[in-house]
Chain A
């Protein structure tokens, strides 16, 4: 315990920096995944070929573990934050994509018909009706992706991208169990904390369903 105290005395800035870096890598990856997966998911509901191809492609990628993706990435794009973000983005796309497609497929026809019949133009129908109705399911996909990414971002340290994995690597290098514990517990707390925060947002945004 005293050694952990020493670590905090000398390395507290590293600790904070690793947490922030961890969150940064995760946030960038999920943001990229959303930019790719949400439009692709919506397109899939309108164009059957896009759906078939993307379901196959992402289904396949999903089987490959993220460590493998990371290792494959290194010779192509080197080490550092870029391959980490690439690998985590690939990890985050499937849950968002699948849920987006589901959400936009399951929109209640009668509600959309009422909107069209009232004279909303396609843009108004999309943003005022379809997007809010699809939101809960899309958000659930994003939440799954975030939780997976935050946990997996630990691996980013292996390729020199930093993050909470770095504490664990240091612990391994120095054979210090206390640092292994510190790294592991911090990852768990950050994961659970993010999950909790996302649940709160979800509950707030879907209040109308439980009134």
Chain B
């Protein structure tokens, strides 16, 4: 399998901090995986993701996207090829749902028909009837609906890779479960590479084809959900798993890519 993202000995230190937010991280993410990154608050999950789209720059080491060092790609060009979803959703409140979704395709100068078609297709994909929703404003949608728009807005220009930073963290349990199912469906259909940050063990195990467990800026274990549950690499992983009451029926396992 081709490698979508590779971290080589990456270190990130924030000014004034006496520790490394990311400490010598080595990581290969294969194309088409849905990698969930799991760890307690402050362990460096967001930092890891923001290094990929160059919102942050690494202090040491290198990051490669499909073999190209991201230092050699202009940050703005790089970001236009990466889908980015955040917990706060960040829809543009003054723009309609249509305009929100069309943002990146417009920047990339797609023609009108192609944008129309894409917006319709995406809204249908998350079961929001286009005619009903495209002219509404974000403020008219529920939290769950807003994050569906956040998700398809990031997918709009067909990025090769999707970065999602605790996207369902602020959404109530029932909606979250539905959104997780939709995300799984989108991943299976699109076969894109997803990097999904969460601090919820159940979510990490349900969604991930691979799971990366982090603590204090270091990788603790990297493997399939099954491997992590059956063979925890160290005491930290073991305690994390035992604290999470993971329902093994919902573990994404042996599905194969």
C-alpha gap A49/B93 in the complex (Å)? 32
B140 at the interface (CB under 8 A from A): yes
Decide: A118 and B104 in contact? CB cutoff 8 A: yes
Residues of A near B77 (CB, < 8 A) are 119
Decide: B107 and A120 in contact? CB cutoff 8 A: yes
Residues of A near B185 (CB, < 8 A) are none
Q: Which of A92-122 contact B (CB under 8 A)?
A: 108, 110-111, 113-121
A127 at the interface (CB under 8 A from B): no
C-alpha gap A121/B136 in the complex (Å)? 26
B80 at the interface (CB under 8 A from A): yes
A124 at the interface (CB under 8 A from B): yes
A133 at the interface (CB under 8 A from B): yes
Which secondary structure dominates chain A's binding surface? helix
Chain B: number of interface residues, binned into ranges = 20 to 34
B191 at the interface (CB under 8 A from A): no
C-alpha gap A211/B141 in the complex (Å)? 10
Among residues of A, the one whose C-beta sits closest to the C-beta of B154 is A118
Residues of B near A209 (CB, < 8 A) are 93, 139
B245 at the interface (CB under 8 A from A): no
User: B99-125: contact bitstring with A at CB < 8 Å (1 yes, 0 no)?
Assistant: 000011001000000000000000000
Residues of B near A118 (CB, < 8 A) are 79-80, 84, 103-104, 107, 153-154
> Given the known A-B contacts A113-B86, A124-B107, are A119 and B93 also in contact in the complex, defined by CB atoms under 8 Å?
no
Most buried by B among A110, A129, A208, A211: A208
Decide: B92 and A121 in contact? CB cutoff 8 A: no
A39 at the interface (CB under 8 A from B): no
Decide: A117 and B92 in contact? CB cutoff 8 A: no
B133 at the interface (CB under 8 A from A): no
C-alpha gap A116/B140 in the complex (Å)? 24
B174 at the interface (CB under 8 A from A): no
C-alpha gap A205/B79 in the complex (Å)? 31
Most buried by B among A117, A124, A128: A117
Decide: B79 and A117 in contact? CB cutoff 8 A: yes
C-alpha gap A132/B94 in the complex (Å)? 7
Decide: B76 and A121 in contact? CB cutoff 8 A: yes
C-alpha gap A114/B77 in the complex (Å)? 15
C-alpha gap A124/B76 in the complex (Å)? 11
Residues of A near B137 (CB, < 8 A) are 208, 211
C-alpha gap A118/B108 in the complex (Å)? 11
B129 at the interface (CB under 8 A from A): no
| Closest 9 A/B residue pairs (Cβ) | A114-B90, A110-B88, A119-B80, A119-B79, A117-B84, A208-B137, A110-B90, A132-B94, A111-B90
Add 19 more A-B contacts to A111-B90, A114-B89 (CB < 8 A): A110-B90, A111-B92, A113-B86, A113-B90, A114-B84, A116-B79, A117-B53, A118-B79, A118-B107, A118-B153, A119-B76, A119-B82, A120-B103, A120-B107, A124-B107, A132-B94, A133-B93, A211-B137, A211-B140
| Interface residues, chain A, with chain B CB atoms under 8 Å away | 108, 110-111, 113-121, 124, 128-129, 132-133, 208-209, 211
Sample (23) of A-B pairs whose CB atoms are under 8 Å apart: A110-B86, A110-B89, A111-B92, A113-B86, A114-B86, A114-B150, A115-B90, A117-B79, A117-B84, A118-B84, A118-B107, A118-B154, A119-B77, A119-B78, A119-B82, A120-B76, A129-B92, A133-B94, A208-B139, A209-B139, A211-B136, A211-B137, A211-B140
| Interface residues, chain B, with chain A CB atoms under 8 Å away | 53, 55, 76-82, 84, 86, 88-94, 103-104, 107, 136-137, 139-140, 150, 153-154
